Amino acid sequence: MPSLTQLLRDMPIFAELDETVLDRLSQRCVPRAVGAGFTLFRAGERCTGLYIVLEGRVRIYRTSPDGKQQTLAVEGPGRPVAELPLFDGGPYPAAAVTTVPSRLAFLPRTEFEHAFRTDPDVASAVVRSLGARLRHLVQLVETVAFRDVAARLAMLLADYADHHGRQEGKDTVLELRRTQEELATEIGTARESVSRAFKQLQSRGLIRERKGTHYRLASTDALRAWARGDDA
């Protein structure tokens, strides 16, 4: 398992920080071990800090007025949870709950704000991170609004591959521990539609091979290009 300092460095908002700053931030992190189904925070609650997943999985979701849940992301080891309110001082925009027993590191917001105010490198990294996040959200909104289920699935697989996959030649190898029901929730559709979308991606050669939770995919660029219709 990488050190907490290395996990912080792997995050875009901290990637260019001096080692001493990262060490100081990592020393301020508080370890937490929780069971499955533990709510880290609810939408609308005041942000108290940033979570980093060390082991386990955390589901981030929104709930509609009629009680329907929409999964926004499922974060695994090495991934941050709740960056946005850490930046803008607003409340948590979504809820987060563990799906399996998990170990987390918690960075209090006060520690981050101190680094932001006193280190210009931190401020610069935050601006770049927010720009990249905004670009990603624009692409996501376009895909959900104008593309079909197969395109949404291709985008989702590309995102997971960026974070958790590895390159083998021109292909990307990914272990994706998600049920079709979970994937359907993440892209806002039914499980049956996800099953058909998988077949469509396989027929187009975007999914080269699939064995259980292991996938051999085309490159993430190819998946995103097809999802946007750029290869038409």
Contact residues for 232 (Cβ-Cβ < 8 A; gap 6+): none
Higher confidence at residue 1 or residue 63? 63
pTM flag (> 0.85): no
Helical spans, DSSP H, in 32-166: 84-88, 109-118, 120-146, 149-164
When the candidates are 1.10.10.10, 3.30.1490.190, 3.40.350.10, 3.40.50.20, the CATH number that belongs to 148-228 is 1.10.10.10
Instruction: Please check whether the two domains, 4-142 and 148-228, share a CATH topology.
Output: no
**Spans of all domains in the chain:** 4-142, 148-228
The 10s digit of each residue's pLDDT in 50-63 is 899 999 999 998 88
Question: pLDDT tens, 76-97?
Answer: 888 888 777 877 778 888 999 9
The arrangement of strands across the sheet holding 171-175 comes to 166-168, 171-175, 214-217, 207-211
Q: Find out whether 81 and 58 touch, Cβ atoms under 8 Å.
A: yes
In this structure, CATH architecture of domain 4-142: Sandwich (2.60)
| Residue 98 pLDDT greater than 90, yes or no | yes
Q: DSSP letter string over 170-215?
A: TEEEEE----HHHHHHHHTS-HHHHHHHHHHHHHTTSEEEEETTEE
Span 35-62, average pLDDT: 92
